Structure formats: C-alpha cells, structure tokens
Chains A and B, each alone.
Chain A
Amino acid sequence: MITGKELREKYIRNQPTAFCPGCGDGMVLNSMSRAVESLGILRKDIVAVSGIGCAAWVVSPYWRVDTLHTTHGRAIPHAIGVKVGNKDLNVVVVSGDGDCVGIGGNHLIHACRNNIDLTVIMINNGLYAMTGGQVAPTTEYGERTITTPYGNPSHGMDVTKIVKAAGASHVSRWTTYHMRELTKEVKYALRKKGLSFIEVLTQCPTRTGKKDRLSGLDMLQWYKENTSKTPEEGKITVGRFVDIDRPELADEIYGQITASGGTPR
C-alpha cells in the first residue's frame, strides 16, 4: 500500500495547496489519486479538465496528470473534444456546482445525453465559493448567501436527477465524510464506459461555514448525521443511483469512421 506521503508526492503538484484550512476540495483530490493508484492507470493516460472556481483548482494546478484548465462552465465540451480526439485517454472533469450546472448546465445535460465516456466529479459546496459565496443553483430555498441576504427566493436542485433523466450511464452521490466510498466510486467511474457523474457534497468552511460558524470538521459531522444510504425522510440520500449500459459517443464516432472505410487519424 502506498503511504499518504508517497501518494501526495506522486499525484499532487505545488504543495501545500492553496485551499483554505478545512476545505473539502483537497479530500476529493486525495480520493481521485487513490482511485487511480489502485487501478494502476498510468498518469500519462489521464487528462483532467476543469473550468473555473475553487473546485477547478483540484485538477489545475494540483493533479499531476495532463490538465486542461478551461473557461467557466466549459470544461465538459473541452473534455468532449479531448475524448473524441483520442479515445484511449481517460478523461476526468472536476467542476464546481456553479461551473457544472449553473453556467455549464446545458453542456452537462448534453454530455449525459451523448453518454460520452467521461468521469465528471461535481464538487458541490452549495454556492459560488471562489467569487465570495454567492447563491448557486444548488443553494437550498431560504438559505442566506451574500447575494441572497434575505434568504434564497429560488430553489436548489438535485443534479443527480437531471443527469439521470438526461441519460448518464452512471450516477452517484457521496460526501467528503464518505471517503472510502468515494474512492471506490471514482474507481468504478473510471472503468465504467459512458458518462459517470459523481456529486460530492464538499465542505467550504470559508463561505458556507462562516455564516453558520461551522468548521470543516463540524460540516463533516453534519454530513454524517444528515445523510443516509437508504432513502430517509429529512436526510440526503447517498449512494449509486444509476448504473446502466448504453452506447457511448466516442465509440460510436470511431465505429462510424471504421464502417465508412476510414481509419481514425
């Protein structure tokens, strides 16, 4: 077994990271690295793509693989270009909730519809952390943020339901409290053909925590107490919600090239 120190040295650049103390983003990074390590996938065969936000920093600059750090909300379509460009690469997208379903929501839906072979990890901290804690599409009704000082007049949405409806072949949700399960899920996602979507409820002590005076640890405790692996009234369900097989876009495109008499360049 690789030690924590060895893992960090092998997979993470620019240490220490610039995440705030107690931030959950580093935990997701850790989990992704462990998954790759235990699958034995070579780092050179992974391309990690991100947009803009704290979550995006998980891959760029920190993850030590080929990285493409794109514009806000556009990680997924860039990743599609990479995957269709070279389908031998394992393409991982890490995206904040704002990035993934706010500005980038349309791309997410269509990537699920295409069922392109990407692993999309959505780090959900319930708001726009990097820009100062504004309301996001995931912020609950009534929550106060810097742009909803009187309470969120809108509603948060369950992204796992959207990606399920859109056709992703693998959908799940975990939290940073569930590190072991998360790592297993990332491993599964990396091997699963088609679009894998993992939502990770992740603590942001700096933005979410501040208003409620919660530390990172308090928030992990909260995840522990308020989640359940089986549906339960008043709790957030975690686990794997979808696991199906459907034709995948890159395979289809390559298949059509071959069928038309071409050889992929």
Chain B
Amino acid sequence: MRAPGVYFQEGNIACAEGAMAAGLGLFAGYPITPASEIMHHLARALPKTGGRFIQMEDEIASMAAITGASWTGLKSMTATSGPGFSLMTENLGFAYMTETPCVIVNVQRAGPSTGQATKPGTGDVMQARFGSHGDYEMIALSPNSVQEMFDFTVKSFNFAEKYRTPVVLLADAGIGHIREKFTIPEKIDLVERKRPLTDDKEFFHSDAEDHVPPMPAFGDGRELLVTGSTHRGNGTRDTAGYETQDRLVRRLKAKIDDNRNDIIEWEEDEVDDAELVVVSYGSMSRPARGAVSKARQSGLKVGFFRPKVIWPSPEKRLRDIGTNSKILLAELSLRGYRMEVERCVGSENMHVYDRLNSLPTIDRIYRCIKEVMK
C-alpha cells in the first residue's frame, strides 16, 4: 500500500490502492483482461496490509468467496470484466438479497461474448443494473480518470458498508489501462457497517429511516440465518408468504430508492443556457468534455453532463435538462446507457454518438456536435 502522495500510475493500480486505503480485508478473483492488473497488484501488496488474497477457480467462486468473507466482518472485493461479470451475476443477486456489503469491479471491455479483450467498451451498463434475476436495485459508479479509479473504489466500499449492499465499480479499459497522475490523500473518510446492539434480534429488517438493518458477523454467537430465500427480519425463511416477500423486496428497493439523493452524483458544466448538452460517462466522457470546451470556444452553446454514479441514474436532472436542451449521448457502445437516457429525455430530443472498439479524438466528437446543432 502506497503512502499518501502523488503517483503516476495506471487506473487499475489506482483501483487496487483505493481498495487497500478503504480497508480491504479479502480479495478473491479470477484473471481476465483488462482487469488483471488489479489482482496482480493486490497479490503482492494486500498481504502486507493484513488482507487476504485468493485466486479462485472462476468468477462464480470469486463472487461467492467475497460474500462469505463479508459475513466474517471483512470488507471484500473482486475484479473482472464482462465475461466474468456474467458469471458473477448469479451470486451478485445472492449478495443483494442477503444484504452483504462487497465491491465488484468490472473493467469493461468490448463485447459481446469474448469480443475484444483489450479494447474498451461500455456495453455492460444495463447488465450492471439488471444482470441478475428478480427485482433489485444496484449502485454502480463510473470513473473517468485514474484519480477517480482510486476515489470511486473508496466510495464504492463506503456505499457498500453504509447501505449493506453489493456495489459495482463500472470502469472500462479506457481508464483501467491509462496512466495519469493521482493523489492518495492524507485523510480518507471511511464508512463502516452498522453493528448490532446486544439486544438486536432483527438483522434483515429495519424500520429506520435508511432501511438498513445492523449486520453482525459469523462467530458473534447470534445463530444467524443468512439465506437467499425470502426471509423475515430474523432471517427465517418464508418460501411462499405474500407479506414477507412484499415487505422484503420493497424494503431492499427502498434502501437504494429512498437514499437516492445521498447516492447520485454528477458533473455538469454550462448546462443551463445550453442548446445542446453532451451526456457522457466513463473514458468516453474525457474526449466528450474536451469537445464541449472546443465547441464553446467556437461560440456554440453547448453544455456537458456526466453521471459519476450511473445507477441509480440522475433521472430527475436528466429530465430537466432534456426539457430545455437537445441531448447528445456519447458512449462506447450501442446500447450502454441509451435506453435510460432516452427514457429520461425522450427520443425526439436525443442524438447519439456511439462508437465501438476505441476512443475517438476530441475533434471527432466536436464535428458530431456541429452536425447535430446545424
């Protein structure tokens, strides 16, 4: 683990450093391009901090191991890319249902299937949100710089602990594999999971405003029943009852929904008087932001909007922007965030610059802006 200071490093390394700074207790993973540097770095550095590193037989097992470890009271994480994320979605649902805090890093690559392993893509945005089965909500963050790879990893752990839920760091190869300066600050604010009081009996229900129940650990002597089946507040299973299913699934959803204002975050620039707002995220948002600056310098009324937290989406703000301006969504996939943005701003209002395989230059997006504004 590096000391506080300024470093010139790759996004994946910054992510690994962020995890250690957040207090990572166990990492389990399986190699895959373009995410492997995270595990390479942790294999060496994590034990020195007292954390456990383990390479599993596949991503199904990796996701399972971090879930098991979280119940021993540790902060846990895995890192993968699309093919591995597909395998993780089964147990991601289990972690959600059992309210197990953990962090899943997906350094997205160009899919579908094996696609192009070293090339960036953001085609997993919908999968991060809907990939597992059943009704659920997910928190997913979208970094666009090496600094954010560090900061958002810490933030992912904080959300996971605060809301007792798995969190996806939805990076992409465009950021994972570039080197930039980043700062490890002297002081980092960390959130730790709510621990139960001696008399607490319900670890799977909460009437608190944030809907988050306290979380004990295995070995505390509480005879825990942790199950992916529908369960009551005390953990006992109810395989058929209406009330239990309704109360549990709605609360889990409310945990994210009702805390939305605490979770969502975006960057925007000169949106209010803009005729056109460029919406972008992840590595693509860098040249997109550059193109917006260039357009403005040439006198065009263009704004910039970037969700930092991609799920839950900044729905309301997008809707507001969509009523006043045209929208140009720039993304590294055909279907990434498109349906969500379209849902918020309406399809009449929306233009798309979608690109596959690699990032465009600023100029390429600038030309697209001019085209749309003509």
On A, residues with C-beta under 8 Å from B are 13-14, 42-45, 47, 49, 60-61, 64-71, 74, 76-86, 88-89, 106-107, 109-110, 249, 253-254, 256-257, 260-265
Known: A69-B237, A70-B94, A265-B25. 5 other contacts (CB 8 A): A74-B90, A77-B56, A85-B52, A85-B74, A265-B50
B60, B91, B225 pick with most chain A CB within 10 angstroms = B225
Q: Are A265 and B51 in contact (CB under 8 A)?
A: yes
B50 near A82 (CB under 8 angstroms)? no
Given contacts A69-B229, A81-B69, A85-B74, contact A262 B64 (CB under 8 A): no
Q: What are 20 A-B contacts with C-beta separation under 8 Å?
A: A44-B219, A44-B223, A47-B218, A61-B236, A66-B218, A67-B226, A68-B68, A68-B71, A74-B64, A80-B56, A85-B25, A85-B71, A85-B76, A88-B219, A89-B72, A253-B54, A257-B50, A260-B48, A261-B48, A264-B52
Residues of B within 8 A of A70 (CB): 64, 67, 91, 94, 228
Given A47-B218, A85-B25: A78 in contact with B52 (beta carbons within 8 A): no
Contact B74 A77 (CB under 8 A): no
Whether, in the assembled complex, B181 has its beta carbon less than 8 Å from a beta carbon of chain A, the answer is: no
Chain B 262-303, CB within 8 Å of chain A: the 1/0 string?
A: 000000000000000000000000000000000000000000
Q: What are the residues of chain B within 8 A of A80 when measuring CB–CB?
A: 54, 56, 61, 64-65, 68
Q: Which residues from chain B contact A45 at a C-beta distance below 8 Å?
A: 219
B26 at the interface (CB under 8 A from A): yes
Compute the total of residue contacts between A and B using a CB distance below 8 Å.
162
Q: Is the CB of A71 within 8 A of B47?
A: no
The CA of A64 and the CA of B225, in the complex, are separated in Å by: 9
- From A60, A107, A263, residue with most partner B Cβ within 10 Å: A60
Is B228's CB under 8 angstroms from A69's CB? Answer: yes
Do A86 and B223 form a contact, CB below 8 Å, given A77-B61, A81-B69, A265-B50? no
**Is the pair A253, B50 in contact by a Cβ cutoff of 8 Å?**
no
Asked whether A81 lies within 8 Å of B76 as measured between CB atoms, the reply is yes
Chain B positions near chain A (C-beta within 8 angstroms): 23, 25-26, 28, 47-54, 56-58, 60-62, 64-74, 76, 90-91, 94, 217-229, 236-237
Given contacts A43-B223, A80-B65, A81-B26, contact A71 B90 (CB under 8 A): yes
Closest 3 CB pairs of A and B: A81-B68, A85-B72, A77-B61
Write out the residue numbers on chain A whose beta carbons fall within 8 Å of the beta carbon of B226.
66-69
Hey, which chain B residues are within 8 Å of A109, CB to CB? 57
User: Could you tell me the distance in whole angstroms from the C-beta of B274 to the nearest C-beta in chain A?
Assistant: 47
Cα A111 to Cα B345 with chains together (Å): 50
Q: Once bound together, how far apart are the Cα atoms of A81 and B74, in whole Å?
A: 10
CA distance A138 to B297 in the complex (A): 72
Give Cα A194 to B274, complex, Å.
65
Q: Are A14 and B236 in contact (CB under 8 A)?
A: yes
- In the bound complex, residues from chain B placing their C-beta under 8 Å from that of A82 are 68-69, 71-72, 218
The residue in chain A whose Cβ has the minimal distance to the Cβ of B24 is: A265
Residue of B with least CB distance to A103: B60
Interface centre among B53, B218, B224, B237 (most CB of A within 10 A): B218
Q: Closest Cβ of chain B: how far from A131's Cβ, in Å?
A: 14
Chain B contacts for A79, CB-based, 8 A: 68
**Interface residue from A44, A60, A78, A262 paired with B65 (Cβ < 8 Å):** A78
Interface contact A86-B52, CB-CB below 8 Å: no
Please report the C-alpha to C-alpha distance between residue A69 and residue B94 in the assembled complex, in whole angstroms.
Answer: 10
